[in-house]
Structures are given as structure tokens and as C-alpha cells.
Amino acid sequence: MAWLFANGITTGTSETDFSPDALVTRGQIVTVLHRYQGRPVVDIDADDGCVSGLPAQLAVAESESLHLLN
């Protein structure tokens, strides 16, 4: 996790919290995967972690087609 944070792959759940025991949403997983691949960050709804907007929907569809999500 330290490597992911140091390389901007994950930023935590706020500017001061990381929340390691929280459930991970589909939107958060897609964001991590896209950041790891050096792709643009997708829009995530901060309230519920759902993907929003066309770029995020395409990112989820791509991840599903690669069997990374179901």
C-alpha cells in the first residue's frame, strides 16, 4: 500500500484518512487499475463510490470485458 500511495495510485478516502478496513467499491477498483496503467482518472461519486459519467462507465465496461470485474 505504501508503494501505491507513493506512486499516486491510491490517495486514501480523504486528505487525512486511508480506511484500510473499509469495503472497496467497483469505482475505486477501476480508479486504481487505471492509475496503475497510467490512464486518465475516472470520475467517482464521492458519496457512494459509484462510477459516474461516460469515461467511468467505459472504464468499468473495459474492466468487465477483461474479466477484472463482474
Quick check: 6 and 18 in contact, CB under 8 A? no
pLDDT at residue 40 in the model: 64
- What are the pLDDT digits (tens) for 5-50? 888 888 877 888 888 898 887 777 777 887 888 876 655 554 455 5
- What are the pLDDT digits (tens) for 45-67? 544 555 566 666 777 777 788 88
Per-domain residue ranges for the chain? Answer: 2-65
Report the sign of the C-alpha dihedral through residues 50, 2, 40, 34, in that order. Answer: negative
All cell numbers assigned to 11: 490517495
Residue reference for cell 480506511:
19
Report the sign of the C-alpha dihedral through residues 45, 50, 53, 54, in that order. Answer: positive
